[in-house]
Amino acid sequence: MSDTTHAGLTIEITPGVAIPAHLVGEVQSKLAYVDERIRAAEVAPSGDRITLQVQAEEDTPQLQAELDEKVQRVIDTMVKGAFKPKIQVLEDHLQRPTPYNQDPMQELVARGEVSQEATGMFSLGPLVTRLIDYFEDQFLGLADAFDANPYRFPTLIPAKYLERVNYFSAFPHSLSFVTHLREDLDVIDEFAQHAACDQHGLNTPPDSFAQVQALLSPAVCYHLYFSLADQPLPNGRLAATAVGSCFRYEAINLASLERLWNFTMREVIFVGPKDYVLKNRENARQHMSQVLEETGLAYRVESANDPFFIGEFRKQAAFQSAFQLKFEIRARLPFEDSTLAVGSYNYHQDFFGRHLNISLPDGSPAHTGCVAFGLERIAFAFLAQYGLDVRDWPASVREAVHG
Ligand code: AMP
Ligand code: ZN
């Protein structure tokens, strides 16, 4: 079924199997990667209808058939045989009263506090920056509580390292590749004279670019594990902290400050024996529980899974859930009655220890875990709950931001 609108076509697809409620969001976010012509995708909450906005001149049976086949493939792979994970709630402060219930984006833009450079790329003004600095102070306090050593990591990450930790099969959809012009005078001259942008981007022959050796880093803690690879872990345990730019290409899911291509993550990272990592992950959660109470944020901590790509999703998500590997801090967004992950508590077992050959004094592979916060996200969630008028903010935040 379809009809034509000025923005393109609306196409409806009936899933071969109904999408259960717990997978509606997961499937919807993956539809962004199904076909370049899809401009928007929505799975009905009941899971029995998918609505696509498609950029195409005319609706043809072929277009319908192509989209239908790809969408059904996603559903078959993600839904068939999936079981509902038991959501474990470790903390529930979702109903903490907060004064604001608008989408803060409009006011942020009007005040020059947020300005969009392109899809998923934003500049932030003084108020939001100070608010992020406030949260950074809290995260540095968390790092201090563990005597975590500070590190600085590059924004680029070598392809060969990501390959070693199976990143390409787990998260291919969100990768951002980096290249440069081939070291060839003709290629560089040609580029210098003719490079120009059209509405789709930079217009350059693809063979001008060198083979990809580096990508933009999707997370901070990977760099620490890479720096520890292929050697015994000094002292048998390590607590570290770092902040860095991270990149996840989220296609049409990129929207406001909620979901960015280029964002900033602060991590506190633990490497060592299993009980050291698990105990510190739990201690970090308890420390943050007090911090978040002081900031007044309404949130819940609950079990979660990483956004694995379609083929890997079912198995990996079930594994994470069974072994309680990931918990998210989900802040309330009152304006849309939903929640947004502002941070996560992660345990990777000995995955990185095995794949990167990081060994403990007894020769066994090291275990790793990290606590990760999205800086733009936590500021956005706070503003969605408290608004832009600092007089309405909890005293501790107001004083830190305004002196
Ligand atoms: P994760 O490693 O996926 O648990 O990410 C850690 C934190 O980074 C999340 O809880 C978010 O706060 C933040 N984050 C992840 N992806 C994005 C994104 N696309 N845009 C903004 N923040 C993000
Ligand atoms: Zn991490």
pLDDT per residue over 339-354, tens digit each?
Answer: 999 999 999 999 999 9
Which stretches does DSSP call E strand in 144-275? 149-150, 156-158, 177-178, 196-198, 201-203, 214-216, 231-232, 238-247, 262-272
Q: How confident is the model at residue 7 (pLDDT cuts 50, 70, 90)?
A: low
Quote the CA–CA distance of 367 and 281 in Å, as a whole number. 12
pLDDT exceeds cutoff 90 at 71: yes
Ligand 1, atom 14, lies closest to the CA of 374
pLDDT exceeds cutoff 80 at 397: yes
Q: CA-based angle 223:367:347, to the nearest 5?
A: 80
Q: Measured in angstroms, how far is the CA atom of residue 338 from the centroid of ligand 1?
A: 16
pLDDT exceeds cutoff 90 at 324: yes
pLDDT tens digits, 17-36: 999 999 999 999 999 999 99
Q: Measured in angstroms, how far is the CA atom of residue 230 from the centroid of ligand 1?
A: 28
Q: What is the pLDDT of residue 253?
A: 84
Quote the CA–CA distance of 390 and 312 in Å, as a whole number. 44
Percent of the chain with pLDDT over 70: 98
Contacts with 118 (C-beta within 8 Å, 6 or more apart), sequence order: none
Q: Are 261 and 242 in contact (CB under 8 A)?
A: no
Task: Assess whether the C-beta atom of 267 lies below 6 angstroms from ligand 1.
Answer: no
pLDDT exceeds cutoff 70 at 315: yes
Nearest Cα to Cα of residue 277 among 351, 366, 156, 204: 366
Q: Are 362 and 69 in contact (CB under 8 A)?
A: no
Task: Assess whether the C-beta atom of 375 lies below 6 angstroms from ligand 1.
Answer: no
Q: What is the pLDDT of residue 148?
A: 98
Q: How confident is the model at residue 66 (pLDDT cuts 50, 70, 90)?
A: very high
Indicate the burial class of 87 (C-beta count within 10 angstroms; 0-12, 13-18, 19 or more).
exposed
Percent of the chain with pLDDT over 90: 90
Average predicted confidence (pLDDT) for the chain: 95
Which of ligand 1's atoms lies nearest the C-alpha of 341? 10
Q: What is the pLDDT of residue 251?
A: 86
